[in-house]
Amino acid sequence: MGVKFTHSFNSELGHDVIIPIVGKKVDTNLVKDYFGFIEHDSIELSPKNPIFLTDAKSGKMVILLGLGEESDKGKRTNYIRSVIHQSKAEFPKAITIIAKHLDPKTLSNVVMGCFLGIRQYGIFKTNGDKGKNNPPDITILIDNEQIATYNEAVSVVNAKILAMELVDLPSNIKTPYYLADKAEEVSNKFGIKTSIIRGDNLVAENLHALHEVGKGSSNPPAFITMEYIPENYNDDYKTIVLVGKGITFDTGGISIKPSANLANMKSDMGGAAAVMGVLQLVADQKVQIRVIGIIPAAENAVDGSAYKPSDVIQSYSGKTIEVIDTDAEGRVVLADGLAYGIKNYKPDYVIDLATLTGSCIVALGYLTCGMFTKSEKMSQVLRSASEKCDERVWPMPMWDEYAQDMQSDIADIKNLSAKPVAGSITAAKFLEAFTDQHPEWVHLDIAGVSFADTEFAKSRIATGYGVSLVFESIKLLA
């Protein structure tokens, strides 16, 4: 991180402080606890305009940071992130965030905003360490009863940063084998059981669909399985399988994409990154449910051995797939991931995450992901989890009539509908064919929310979307 984060219960502060405040009105007594005096009894705050108070004698500064009203609660992480991000080069050696007065949700927002705000992006610049040479020490001042909330927020934001760093990496570094090695690194650190099937060994394990997508690249595909087993695990514990699309770069294959925005296709493994982050998080927080993370990882490239439109390929489930478009590859690798996870782990619940379709962005824009499920229970769980973590979901239809568009004359199913409408829905219906009609399966199309334009970088960057949402869902299911 390049910064020292700690928490403290000690109010004896000799350096500058930030006081986050919910609402427009400032509690002047709260400010006086840390500043000593305040000239006005009535101060109004706006999230976009922090108030800076400086003690003429000591030189100590207090920043009053507005976090908005109730309607702003989903933006509070970004409010604190913004002030840290914009000011980190100007911060003194030490600064304290006052948080004793905050409710648990707002405290979590503040913790995550601090960690995200100090994050460095220019890791490949020749002066990339310049901002890390003299970083500030940030202390978050809390009470004893807030420590559990603080610790969980730290775990969540570290998992989100793991996911973000993976998505932001360039594809010449972030190959399928790199993801496999990273999964092993995380597993060794957090006590997760991991297995990797690499390259041509996929064929021997009947993971034909993943192999077909990845065989056109000089970087071979990999099938990654991460298994978190809680202490005292027994048959009474529930099991959830998470499957994340892991396309480390997507050229479109033989059905090649246009060059505009092609550089953004390094982000086509946002689902895989979220799954890896969730596995780290549940292990760190010791959640009482078995969690299986499956990442079918491949680079969809073009050479003489690449799979082609009109090919009929095998899959782990035994069903054959007619390839209409090689750029509809994400659903093809997920087909193997879903079928493998459901057959081998007999899960109670299944969630897949994928940057799957541009159609979902057309339907919902960049503010929410599309949620596809026939399970009313899982729909309610995901929506409740969304309220807890500010990662939005929106239910989409899954009527069986849409499945007719995926019927093939030559194979069991085709990978793309011939109709230029309802693309995200027909993609979900394709995936459904490989779930063995699992009653508690949810597909999350995160194409519009995992990689975004923000104020924190000049180009699109990862958001870490899915880590918090799935973690909160798992807690509810456990």
Catalytic residues: 257, 331
Spatial CA neighbour of 171 closest among 298, 334, 261: 298
Query: 3-class DSSP state for residue 207?
Result: coil
Spatial CA neighbour of 267 closest among 284, 282, 245: 245
Spatial CA neighbour of 420 closest among 353, 357, 370, 374: 357
**Matching residue, tokens 């650190």:** 189
**Matching residue, tokens 């990442």:** 295
How many residues make up the chain in this entry?
478
Torsion angles phi and psi, residue 441, rounded to 5: -105, 140
CA distances from 316 to 98, 101, 330, 343, 353 (A): 53, 54, 15, 10, 19
Cβ neighbour number for residue 130 with a 10 Å cutoff:
12
**Matching residue, tokens 């220019």:** 122
- Contact between 443 and 354 under an 8 Å Cβ cutoff? The reply is yes
DSSP secondary structure, 406-449, as one string = G--SSSSEESS-SSSS-HHHHHHHHHHTTTTT-TTEEEEE-TTT
Q: Which residues have CB under 8 Å from 114's CB, separation 6+?
A: 5, 80, 81, 84, 97, 138, 140
Torsion angles phi and psi, residue 372, rounded to 5: -120, 115
Torsion of CA 455, 461, 466, 471, to 10 degrees: -80
CA distances from 200 to 68, 101, 212, 216, 245 (A): 54, 57, 10, 12, 19
Spatial CA neighbour of 369 closest among 240, 264, 292, 468: 468
Spatial CA neighbour of 106 closest among 64, 70, 136: 70
Q: Which letter, b or e, does each residue of 53-92 get, where b requires 16 or more Cβ atoms within 10 Å of its Cβ?
A: beeeeeebbbbbbbbbeeeebeebbbbbbbbbbeebeebe
